[in-house]
Amino acid sequence: MVLQNLYSQETDKFQWLEEVDSKKSLDWVDQHNKETLEKLTKEGNYKNIYDKSLSILNSSDRIINPSFHGQYIYNFWQDKEHVRGIWRRTAVKDYINGKPKWDVLLDIDALSKKDDIKWVFKGASGLYPNYDKYMISLSKGGGDAVIYKEFDANKKEFIPNGFSLPESKGSASFWDENTLIVSTNFGEGTMTTSGYPKQVKLWKRGTDLKRSDFVNRWRHF
């Protein structure tokens, strides 16, 4: 009880940093980054380590991290020409033969420029078994909160009036072609104190997300 009382009386003097996009927070980060960089650049081996690290990150010879979906191999790739990255795919047979012919599905640098938002690619969840549709997860600046938008992999575009989730911590993936299994901010009382969802629902295409009754039905399993 004593510990609980002590904890309740303490206040986090840096809690204001949770407003990650506020001018005050950004100024604080910029100042500390500047101080850190000034100290690091004075180290004798800084330039050598920096150049080697950058060379490794931009190397076209590094191992590709593949994802197998249907008849294609998918990969998210970043280099000096694609700083924010490209999401691409190639046929399984071409990948196995060591001669992948990469087809770019989504260019995050181009999307960021178009939307004037520093998007960070957070992943893609596909519709089994054809994987012609995906729920793309994007974060503004790399934070935990993301938006989800339905994407047509064959047309290489977001689907107009398709599934779309506003920015929130959570997840979304296909249950079937017209249903998503979703954890997100459903309104008052549906999030933890850390800002993460504590409910999971099935969302039918064309219906109101917040009125889903999946949680009640889930309890019967």
Question: pLDDT tens digits for 82-106?
Answer: 999 999 999 999 999 999 999 999 9
**Of 183, 162, 179, 163, whose CA–CA distance to 171 is shortest?**
183
pLDDT tens per residue across span 34-72? 999 999 999 999 999 999 998 888 887 888 899 999 999
Q: How confident is the model at residue 212 (pLDDT cuts 50, 70, 90)?
A: low
pLDDT of residue 215: 44
Is the confidence at residue 204, as pLDDT, over 80? yes
pLDDT of residue 10: 63
Domains of the chain, start order: 62-218 (2.130.10.120)
* Mean pLDDT in residue range 146-156: 98
Structure token digits, residue 79 = 């280099």
Higher-confidence residue of 156 and 15: namely 156
